[in-house]
Structure 1
Amino acid sequence: MAVHQIETKVGEYIRDNYKSAVEIGFGGKTTAAEIVQNAGHPILCTDVHSYAGAAVPAVVDDVFLPTLTCYAGADVLYAIRPGTEIIPPMIELARRINADLIVYHLGFELYEDGGERLNAKGIQLHRYVKRS
């Protein structure tokens, strides 16, 4: 499946199941976030690098030392193909702000047990944290 199709399916899942979201480590790719934004839901993208001209609101932030105000109020934090090394701080952050954490992994990369598996229109997502 092409990368654009994966990002589209992730964006549709987030749009259909949450009211506000933060995409962590977006890498300048905004396909999923634009779907969420076009539905009228608040969205913010974060990355350790700056990406000028992003089609959605974006800030520089490091999930290892997060600026909590960037994430406060989000129903879900999500990441598309993150390195497994950033999963633990994303889990901690999601728990701190009481948000779901949804991850689309590259290939067969997983963190620990892979969390709860979710089928999103033919792609597998992993929910590592479920908000209370």
Structure 2
Amino acid sequence: MCRYKHIERSIGEYIAARYRRAVEVGVGNNPEAAGLIAAAGALMLCTDIRPGIRHDGLTVVTDDVFEPDLRLYEGADLIYAVRPGVEMVPPLIALADRIDSDLLVYHLGCEIYGDGGEVVDCGPALLHRYRCRRL
């Protein structure tokens, strides 16, 4: 499990250094990346489909990426997910497109969606950028 926390720290550090208004989708019980991004002042909020998730220092709201409340994501320059189910990637892409943000995904194992997007090396982890915002 220690290895996964190292990966989540690397993801958090990468995002915190490059984005100012990030939203994590599907935070669940793994707030390590979000905590680092929040500490850098770059996290808007986290979402999860399950109600009642709480993590110290993080704003976590209940939302379903398959039917997202767009108001939660407005102004985000990044939507990201750490180990989401591959079935979540198409609605994540659609969400990022609708609010015009980047989308980064760290996949579980060898799982990728479509062509895998642009591969981004952030140390021990490979992120997949499935969408870039228009500037």
Q: TM-score, normalised by structure 2?
A: 0.93
> What percentage of residue pairs aligned between the two structures are identical?
47
Query: Which residue of 2 is the match for residue 65 of structure 1?
Result: 67
CA apart distance, 1:44: 0.6
CA apart distance, 1:53: 3.2
Q: How many residues align?
A: 132
Within a 5 Å distance, the mapping from 1:31-50 to structure 2 comes to: 31-50=32-51
Change (3 A) 1:52 1:87: closer
Residue 92 of structure 1: which of 84, 89, 94 is its match? 94
Partners in 2 of 1:43 and 1:9 — Cα distance? 19
- Stretches (4+) displaced over 4 A: none
Amino acid at match of 1:96: R
Preserved CA contact (<8 Å) 1:28 1:51? no
Query: Which residue of 2 is the match for residue 19 of structure 1?
Result: 20
> Match of 1:45, SS?
strand
Asked if 1:8 is matched to 2:18, the reply is: no
> Match of 2:120, SS?
strand
List gaps (5 residues or longer) in structure 2: none
Query: Which residue of 1 is the match for residue 82 of structure 2?
Result: 80
- Structural RMSD (CA): 1.2
Preserved CA contact (<8 Å) 1:23 1:46? yes
Preserved CA contact (<8 Å) 2:54 2:60? no
> Match of 2:35, SS?
helix
> Match of 1:126, SS?
strand
Partners in 1 of 2:102 and 2:77 — Cα distance? 6
Query: Which residue of 2 is the match for residue 120 of structure 1?
Result: 122
Change (3 A) 1:122 1:53: closer
Preserved CA contact (<8 Å) 1:19 1:41? yes
